[in-house]
Structure 1
Amino acid sequence: MPGPSLTRPRPGRDIPPSGAAPAQAPPYDGRLTGDGGLRLLVSLLRPRPRPLAVAALWSVVEALPTLLSGLLIATAVDRGFLAGSPGTGLAWLGLLGLTMLVQAAAVRMMFPALAAVVEPLRDDLVAAVVTAAVTRAAKSARPPDAAAVTRLTEQVETVRNLVSALLRSTRALGVSLVAALGGLLLLSPLLAAVVAVPVTVALVVFARLLRVLVARQRALILADEELTGQATPILAGLRDVAACGARWQAYATVRAAVDTQVAATHALAWAGLSRRLVVALGAHLPLFALLIAARPLIGDGHLSAGEVVGAVTYLATGLDPALRALTGVVGGWGVTLAVTLRRLGETIAPPPEPSASTPVPPAPYGTAPQPGPSVPAPVPPSPYGIALAAVADVEPVGHGLRLENVGFAYAPEATPVVRHLDLTIAEGEHLAVVGPSGIGKSTLSMLLTGIRRPTEGRILLGGLPIEAVPEHRLRSLMALVPQEAYVFTGTVAENLAYLRPEGTRVAGERLEAAAEAVGAGALVERLGGLRATIEEPAALSAGERQLIALARVHASPARIVVLDEATCHLDPAAEQRAEAAFAARGGTLVVIAHRMSSAGRAGRVLLMDGTAALTGSHRELTARSPLYADLVGHWHGGDPSGHRPPEGSR
């Protein structure tokens, strides 16, 4: 498990104080116009001008009641109710109601346009995040970015929901605010000038507050990512945590990240309370002042009673909701959207190409550094007395494997899973690996195929250290079939030809022959042939997925095939057929045995018992090793010779 060493922490030294912030990205200055955030949003919205224009047009229509409400109510009061003509007053109010019906129709017409913007935007972001995560993982020597899961799920969905909410709730914000102030100006220029002063002060205060909100929202997002990055490897390695007695250190590591996240949440909440001040300054204060000054203004003839009612309408139903939306939606959802977009913009940007002066980042525990295009590779010792940089482009001679004093542990102070293993696997050999459950057989399969690097010793492939073999060459030479087979949505041919350099251009006869050899021919026929599409891979049984994975590797150019319990979901007869197919295919075959019958079919057997490793034929190990004889006898019902008793004798 990558990450900190799993040892019992020393109080006061290894356990960080509660609330200590882990290392994270540099602080953000709070500006919304930085590269990444708004620029990313613009790039996402630019391909959809038509639905955006339609939504804006209907937003203008929707703001019609806000623009006319104060004028219509003032006219209804002055020319209708106060003039002794209630019918005229009701007529003017009816006209206001008609504008509200128009508003409702505009809202109804606008939603399809919003959907045409939001859903494709979410799809584009998902594609960008996945592409960036895979590209960075392929080009970097560091472990895969666990925080990418947070970006792909939480942050992308946050952007989708917030863009939808902002377009739905604030598309008419500017129009409504302008409409309320414009209507007030038409009603009474004096009142409009007086109201403009506190509104301007409120907007200035809100602009200053936005910087604080943005900085604290960014701190919260980074704390979420840090928590995911700390917790993911610990949750994935709970068995090692328990085995090493490192529960308290794991607890302290996650607790520090949780405390940081809680502190960031509280800081953002306190900053959010300041938004109430903006509404009080911009809307409540002018309304309160108008109500106090209404009687003198009417008495002096500056305003009529209807104009006062109209002005109150603009302030209470136009300006107040607009400022609430500005502070609540823009100050809440808008800040979250801007910061999340900025973070996504930072992480989906292509990684910079390392230069000769760029230091190589430290490799994770148990792996070899992967030099960049312009960075010279480190020079580990070579069995030939030459640097690996000098042989990096040299092909291995054959594909024999040799393990020299190989050891591997999942953490620096954890008990090694593999220790002091010396083993030679000749080119074309058929080797079976057996041992009790949890002894390290699957770990050995990852070491043999270069997925894991040994923490001690070295592995040679064709005479070259395995880390000196170019990655593309290593992947074409080796194939590992794990216990949980992977089948993706696509045609049967695409699944079977996935490991072929030429892809689906490979002849169908070759794919059909590979499927038939491992026993998947009937399955391919049942699915509808090579051109049939596998719509739901999960609908296939575990055994059917294993057959497809076996056929895929059988059709590949790999010269070394490792089957890590890759037939565990097949019956013994199907397992025997698959192993026989790979043995007859040519190349090296290593079988991590699920059944002891696999050992009986192998030319040589490696027995792992946790302390030493024995090799020999099936008969030799049965005679030499009590553990091996016990495994054989347990599988075959007490007969250590490896032969099943006749049917009916038990």
Structure 2
Amino acid sequence: MRRRSPGSPGPALLRQELWARRRALARIALWSIVESLPVLLSGLLVSAATDRFLARDVGAGLALLALLLPTAAAGAVATNRLFPWLAALVEPVRDAFLAEVTKGALLAATRSTTRLDTTSVAKLTAQVQTVRNILFGLLRTVRQVLFTFVAALVGLFLLAPVVASATAVLVALAFAVIGLLVPKLAARHRTLLLAQEEVAGRAGVAFEGVRDAVACAAQQRAAAEVERAVDDEATQALALARATTLTRLLVFVGGQLPLLILLVATPWLLRSESLTVGEVVGAATYLLVSLEPALQRIVGVVVSWALDLVVSLRRLGEAFAEPEPAEPDGLPAPDRYDLRVDGLTFTYGAHADPVLDDLSLTIDEGDHLAVVGSSGIGKSTLANLLAGLLVPSRGAIRLGGVDVTRLRESELRRTLSLIPQEAYVFAGTLRENLTYLAPDATERDLVDAVAAVGLGPLLSRLGGLDARVGTGGADLSQGEKQLVALGRVYLSPARVVILDEATANLDPVAEARAEVAFAARPGTLVVIAHRITSARRAERVLLLDGDRVHLGTHDELVRSSNSYAELVGRWDAGGTATASRLPARPG
């Protein structure tokens, strides 16, 4: 992961991305200077032309005014040249923020024990687009306004220093007051943004559970909760509007008051010969045509956009993944691969009933264990605990005698692999997907893995190992995605493999082929079974049955456990005999 500079993550990432594209920024600044030349010369040329007209030199006056045309043309060319550089700056920044938000969402999903809030993720993604739009608007519009403002001030100083000095003082006063108001406005912007997120979250929950709300006649209560969030958002929006209104008064101080002072002082300036009539007209041109409209846009639009940008950046920064620290010291992977579970207890909350309570068992190296039980009994939770994705509430899990929480993360992942039901396929070729965990795999290794897990038909359909698949395997069926995930881990160096319903979307024959292949592979295999045939193929079976567990072979549990016998009976009554076409277990 990229290293970010110190500070709030959102603004820090923006600074980093802008600095990385300083060449584009320099080009934008240079073309902006050219673009502002008509403003810089406007007052000077109008002043000189006015004095020529008063001197009855009409030709010279018209010639001076005609000089505005080539400067305007140069400004138009500069504006046209700016857009490619704006795109070269804005689009990569948008992509960088999307990448960071995505990493943060994925990390939150892997760490969370509850369902991912997709409405919040969607809101954050929308905020990334907001940042992109605001940044483009600032660079396109505000850049032009600011350069116009500076060019007008410079021209005014060249034309009428006394008027420029008074104007600069008033403008500085206006900007100072704006600076004092910005923290308050930023706080109100953030409060409004959070209120908007609350509306999205409450509405999403209400829509998702609408059938349940209707079923228990709670529509009014659910609607009232959403309505309260909407009312709070409206209150925060009104408070922000009131605070923003104060900035409008500053336009008068910095933009209109200097013009008023100039008009009042014009008789004295002319009598004292401090300015000529042309210079008064030129100064008024700068104030009326350039400075006052620019300041109005700065206060009215720029302040709002800039605050939106800062608040959105900080809010997005809260969703970024933390920078990856150097891997902490930990123990290396052991040289044996037995799993020992001692007094394992796990709850999803401080006051929740334990999903697993004081579970102890040993899974010997090379063992083939099937875990069965009713839905929601804790099978997937056990798989996540064995894989080190969840931390036990009490007890310990040891791999080769070493507590998995003390192993180096990188070595734990190389040694132990979990394949969940929700298989993920990377964008790229099938070869790249299969060798992701085994980059040094040979062509012979690939051929063996394809044959072992039954990937041949998929390769034939797509055109071989170098066929490309889309992100998430959009062009693959759920079963084909599972086959790719199985092949990926089959090639890996992992010596403990946990299949958490990783074959749920395969037919019984394909499931049996995959399980037989993994059982014949060196190492330990744990299968979270969704078909009883998986238990028949296993050397041992662990039955989770409420607060009781039963461990033994399939035949032993049929004889000793009524719960297991009933489970087998229900499955056999379903009449699925096709799974028996392959041997019960390797060897």
The answer, yes or no, to whether TM exceeds 0.5 is: yes
1:49-128 equivalent positions in 2, closer than 5 A: 49-73=22-46, 96=68, 99-124=71-96
Task: Report deviation, 1:598.
Answer: 1.7
Task: Give the aligned partner of residue 508 of structure 1.
Answer: 443
- Match for 2:163: what amino acid? L
Is 1:412–2:350 an aligned residue pair?
yes
Aligned with 1:552 (options 485, 488, 494): 488
Worse-matched range after superposition: 486-495 or 285-294: 285-294
Aligned equivalents of 1:310, 1:585: Cα separation in 2: 87
Worse-matched range after superposition: 559-568 or 591-600: 591-600
Task: Give the aligned partner of residue 327 of structure 1.
Answer: 299
1:526-560 Cα shifts (integer Å, max 9, x gaps): 44433444344221111111001111111122222
Task: Give the aligned partner of residue 530 of structure 2.
Answer: 594
Q: Gaps spanning 5+ residues in structure 2: where?
A: 1-5, 581-587
1:142-170 Cα shifts (integer Å, max 9, x gaps): 99x99996998466545543432222123
Task: Give the aligned partner of residue 163 of structure 1.
Answer: 135
1:46-67 Cα shifts (integer Å, max 9, x gaps): 4444433332232122213322
Task: Give the aligned partner of residue 17 of structure 2.
Answer: 44
Secondary structure of the equivalent of 1:315? Answer: helix
**Residues 509 and 48 (structure 1), Cα distance of their counterparts in 2 relative to 1, 3 Å cut:** same
**Higher helix fraction: Structure 1 or Structure 2?**
2
Secondary structure of the equivalent of 1:546? Answer: helix
1:376-434 Cα shifts (integer Å, max 9, x gaps): xxxxxxxxxxxxxxxx7476573233333322211111122222333332332222222
Task: Give the aligned partner of residue 563 of structure 1.
Answer: 499
Aligned equivalents of 1:589, 1:282: Cα separation in 2: 75
Is 1:578–2:514 an aligned residue pair?
yes
User: Contact 1:508–1:530 (CA<8 Å) still a contact in 2?
Assistant: no
Secondary structure of the equivalent of 2:474? Answer: helix
**Residues 397 and 349 (structure 1), Cα distance of their counterparts in 2 relative to 1, 3 Å cut:** closer
Task: Report deviation, 1:488.
Answer: 0.8
Task: Give the aligned partner of residue 359 of structure 1.
Answer: none
1:431-488 Cα shifts (integer Å, max 9, x gaps): 2222222221111111222222222333333344333444344323321110011111
Aligned equivalents of 2:107, 2:541: Cα separation in 1: 39
Tell me the TM-score normalised to structure 1 length.
0.70
1:494-547 Cα shifts (integer Å, max 9, x gaps): 3222223xxx22212112201210101332344443344434422111111100
Is 1:486–2:424 an aligned residue pair?
yes
- Match for 1:434: what amino acid? V
Task: Give the aligned partner of residue 496 of structure 1.
Answer: 434
Task: Give the aligned partner of residue 518 of structure 1.
Answer: 453
Secondary structure of the equivalent of 1:171? Answer: helix
Aligned equivalents of 1:174, 1:488: Cα separation in 2: 45
Aligned equivalents of 2:544, 2:322: Cα separation in 1: 46
Task: Report deviation, 1:218.
Answer: 7.0
User: Contact 1:401–1:424 (CA<8 Å) still a contact in 2?
Assistant: yes
**Residues 50 and 603 (structure 1), Cα distance of their counterparts in 2 relative to 1, 3 Å cut:** closer
User: Contact 1:130–1:152 (CA<8 Å) still a contact in 2?
Assistant: no
Aligned equivalents of 1:475, 1:352: Cα separation in 2: 17
User: Contact 1:126–1:152 (CA<8 Å) still a contact in 2?
Assistant: no
Is 1:460–2:395 an aligned residue pair?
no
Task: Report deviation, 1:575.
Answer: 0.9
Task: Give the aligned partner of residue 611 of structure 1.
Answer: 547
- Match for 1:413: what amino acid? H
User: Contact 1:151–1:344 (CA<8 Å) still a contact in 2?
Assistant: no
Aligned equivalents of 1:586, 1:189: Cα separation in 2: 87
- Match for 1:611: what amino acid? D
Task: Report deviation, 1:195.
Answer: 3.1
Aligned equivalents of 2:156, 2:304: Cα separation in 1: 28
Secondary structure of the equivalent of 1:615? Answer: strand
Taking only aligned residues, the RMSD between alpha carbons, in angstroms, comes to: 5.0
Task: Give the aligned partner of residue 156 of structure 2.
Answer: 184
Is 1:316–2:251 an aligned residue pair?
no
- Match for 1:415: what amino acid? D
Is 1:543–2:479 an aligned residue pair?
yes
User: Contact 1:403–1:424 (CA<8 Å) still a contact in 2?
Assistant: yes
- Match for 2:425: what amino acid? V
Task: Give the aligned partner of residue 174 of structure 2.
Answer: 202
User: Contact 2:469–2:475 (CA<8 Å) still a contact in 1?
Assistant: no
- Match for 1:590: what amino acid? V
User: Contact 2:101–2:125 (CA<8 Å) still a contact in 1?
Assistant: no
User: Contact 1:406–1:422 (CA<8 Å) still a contact in 2?
Assistant: yes
Aligned equivalents of 1:424, 1:480: Cα separation in 2: 18
Identity of aligned residues (%): 48
User: Contact 1:60–1:172 (CA<8 Å) still a contact in 2?
Assistant: no
Is 1:288–2:238 an aligned residue pair?
no
- Match for 1:318: what amino acid? S
Worse-matched range after superposition: 557-566 or 298-307: 298-307
Aligned with 1:399 (options 331, 337, 341): 337
User: Contact 1:136–1:351 (CA<8 Å) still a contact in 2?
Assistant: no
User: Contact 1:150–1:225 (CA<8 Å) still a contact in 2?
Assistant: no
Secondary structure of the equivalent of 2:425? Answer: coil
Q: Gaps spanning 5+ residues in structure 1: where?
A: 1-32, 354-370, 374-391
Aligned equivalents of 1:645, 1:348: Cα separation in 2: 44
User: Contact 1:430–1:589 (CA<8 Å) still a contact in 2?
Assistant: yes
User: Contact 1:40–1:342 (CA<8 Å) still a contact in 2?
Assistant: no
Aligned with 2:366 (options 428, 447, 470): 428
Aligned equivalents of 1:349, 1:568: Cα separation in 2: 34
- Match for 1:55: what amino acid? I
Aligned equivalents of 1:186, 1:178: Cα separation in 2: 12
Aligned equivalents of 1:410, 1:265: Cα separation in 2: 38
Task: Give the aligned partner of residue 632 of structure 1.
Answer: 568
Secondary structure of the equivalent of 1:606? Answer: strand
Worse-matched range after superposition: 268-277 or 559-568: 268-277
1:553-595 Cα shifts (integer Å, max 9, x gaps): 1112222221111111111111111111112223222211122
Worse-matched range after superposition: 276-285 or 608-617: 608-617
- Match for 1:315: what amino acid? L
Aligned equivalents of 1:256, 1:606: Cα separation in 2: 49
Tell me the TM-score normalised to structure 2 length.
0.77
User: Contact 2:415–2:496 (CA<8 Å) still a contact in 1?
Assistant: yes
- Match for 1:104: what amino acid? A
Aligned equivalents of 1:56, 1:155: Cα separation in 2: 27
Aligned equivalents of 2:548, 2:85: Cα separation in 1: 69
Task: Give the aligned partner of residue 584 of structure 2.
Answer: none
Aligned equivalents of 1:141, 1:484: Cα separation in 2: 16
Task: Report deviation, 1:489.
Answer: 1.7
- Match for 1:545: what amino acid? K
Is 1:446–2:384 an aligned residue pair?
yes
- Match for 2:519: what amino acid? A
Secondary structure of the equivalent of 1:423? Answer: strand
**Residues 42 and 402 (structure 1), Cα distance of their counterparts in 2 relative to 1, 3 Å cut:** closer
Secondary structure of the equivalent of 1:605? Answer: strand
